């Protein structure tokens, strides 16, 4: 190879590295940044306590993050608008209480009780979205008032008992059912096959539309990576109790809501409103309708998350939906790369963020650290994520990219 060719190759590699660094700084590769950070967190906690990466603890971690991640899915949609919902924790507790009272005290069929609880969450979200969009009251104020009101409603629904134990197996089974052995491997094969089919379908659609498509090598690498992660996860979970039903429910919601965000007209409208509401209005998008529906989604997902948490804890009480639940549900997507400024993010950040937050909390529990330390560490991680988001936005603005 001539000196000129070698110099050109070196320059090309340097340019590629600079481009990758630029994309990381501007938030385009936020998921990669989070995965690297998650791996580092796992290495640190494993070095301090060899039980951290045990099959039993990882299964517990999956169960612990499911409810939070489900709530975070709705938060992602709100953040895509550049808004905030401070009521999701209280809504999750109220919805769980409605389900428990209807099922335990009034003898409702468990599925009807669950449906009623989700309907309550949806109605609350739509109400708050209507008040925010119709009267121009900041979402911060509307949902802060909701946080207080729905906590009061929770106490009213529970009544003097203050706590209700859940015993119906159809409700408790949501977070306490596992699939092991051959069933787990069949599920893994189905997931891998479905991902491969989606890759091929997406590639064919882009080619048919005359758009630039991913190279076969890139597709193969992505497929191999997902297959390897799926097989490794099933192997680990199978060595304990198996694949939790709760994890399957979470993944189904993540994939479904990501499809809505990326592949539907409504999803494109959400990104458009979050990017520039006035431009979206001039383009003919019903901004108020989009905002109202998004807050409805947040309310419904909060209810679903609350139901899952109640199923795991086998009870609903006056503290349901309280403590650090709201902080964790909002912090997760922000830490994983969904912008607080609107218009940028992914539903997958709900899962990744919950993994990061849950891993930190779980690891500190194993190390027997105090609640004070846990709150300070979690707050510090959230502040760091917000700073990174702000820096990424400044980088995009400096380069002329919104």
Of the CA atoms within 13 Å of residue 173, those in its CB half-sphere come to 6
First to last CA, the chain: 42
Contacts of 151 (CB under 8 A, 6+ apart): 90, 93, 94, 321, 322
Can you give the pLDDT at residue 282?
94
Q: Is 345 left (phi over 0), alpha (psi -120 to 50) or beta?
A: left
Can you give the pLDDT at residue 394?
75
143/85 Cα distance (integer angstroms): 5
Neighbours of 248 (CB within 10 A): 15
Can you give the pLDDT at residue 396?
64
Q: Find the helix or strand (DSSP H, E) in which 315 lies.
A: strand 315-317
- Ranges in the chain, pLDDT < 50: 19-27
56/311 Cα distance (integer angstroms): 19
Neighbours of 216 (CB within 10 A): 9
**Tens of pLDDT along 211-265?**
787 788 888 888 998 899 999 999 999 999 999 999 999 999 999 999 999 989 9
For CATH 1.10.3470, the residue range(s) in the chain are 52-177+244-398
Which residues of 42-166 form beta strands (DSSP E)? 163-165
Which residue from 351, 348, 353 is spatially nearest to 332, judged by alpha carbons? 353
Contact between 141 and 80 under an 8 Å Cβ cutoff? The reply is: no
pTM for the whole structure: 0.89
Can you give the pLDDT at residue 25?
46
Can you give the pLDDT at residue 24?
46
| Main-chain phi, psi angles of 207, to 5 degrees | -65, -45
DSSP of 324-351: THHHHHHHHHHHHT--TTSS---THHHH
Contact between 75 and 350 under an 8 Å Cβ cutoff? The reply is: yes
Dihedral angle of Cα 281, 287, 290, 291, to the nearest 10 degrees: 140
235/6 Cα distance (integer angstroms): 45
Residues in the chain: 402
Helix (H, G, I), strand (E, B) or coil at 67: helix
Architecture in CATH of 52-177+244-398? Orthogonal Bundle (1.10)
């Amino acid at each position: 190879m001539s000196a000129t060719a070698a110099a050109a190759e070196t320059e090309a590699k340097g340019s590629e590295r600079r481009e990758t660094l630029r994309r990381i700084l501007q938030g385009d590769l936020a998921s990669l940044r989070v995965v690297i950070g998650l791996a580092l967190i796992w290495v640190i906690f494993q070095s301090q306590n060899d039980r951290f990466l045990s099959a039993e603890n990882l299964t517990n971690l999956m169960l612990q993050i499911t409810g939070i991640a489900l709530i975070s899915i709705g938060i992602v949609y709100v953040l895509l608008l550049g808004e905030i919902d401070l009521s999701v924790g209280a809504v999750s507790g109220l919805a769980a209480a409605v389900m428990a009272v209807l099922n335990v005290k009034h003898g409702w069929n468990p599925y009807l009780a669950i449906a009623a609880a989700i309907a309550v969450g949806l109605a609350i979200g739509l109400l708050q979205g209507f008040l925010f969009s119709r009267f121009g009251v900041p979402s911060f104020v509307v949902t802060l008032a909701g946080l207080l009101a729905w906590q009061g409603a929770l106490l009213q629904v529970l009544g003097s008992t203050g706590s209700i134990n859940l015993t119906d197996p159809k409700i408790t089974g949501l977070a306490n059912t596992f699939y092991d052995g051959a069933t787990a491997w069949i599920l893994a094969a189905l997931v891998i096959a479905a991902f491969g089919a989606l890759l091929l379908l997406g590639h064919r659609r882009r080619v048919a539309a005359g758009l630039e498509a991913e190279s076969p090598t890139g597709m193969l690498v992505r497929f191999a990576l997902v297959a390897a992660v799926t097989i490794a996860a099933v192997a680990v979970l199978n060595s304990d109790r198996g694949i939790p039903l709760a994890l399957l429910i979470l993944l189904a919601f993540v994939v479904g809501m990501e499809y809505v965000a990326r592949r539907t007209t409504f999803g494109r409208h959400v990104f458009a409103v979050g990017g520039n509401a006035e431009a979206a209005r001039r383009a003919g998008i019903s901004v108020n309708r989009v905002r109202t529906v998004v807050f409805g989604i947040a309310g419904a997902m909060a209810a679903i998350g609350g139901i899952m948490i109640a199923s795991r804890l086998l009870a609903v009480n006056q503290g349901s939906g309280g403590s650090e639940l709201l902080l964790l549900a909002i912090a997760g997507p922000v830490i994983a790369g969904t912008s607080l400024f609107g218009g940028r993010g992914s539903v997958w950040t709900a899962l990744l963020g919950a993994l990061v937050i849950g891993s930190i909390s779980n690891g500190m529990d194993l190390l027997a650290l105090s609640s004070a330390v846990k709150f300070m560490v979690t707050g510090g991680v959230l502040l760091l994520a917000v700073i990174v988001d702000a820096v990424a936005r400044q980088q995009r603005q400096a380069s002329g990219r919104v």
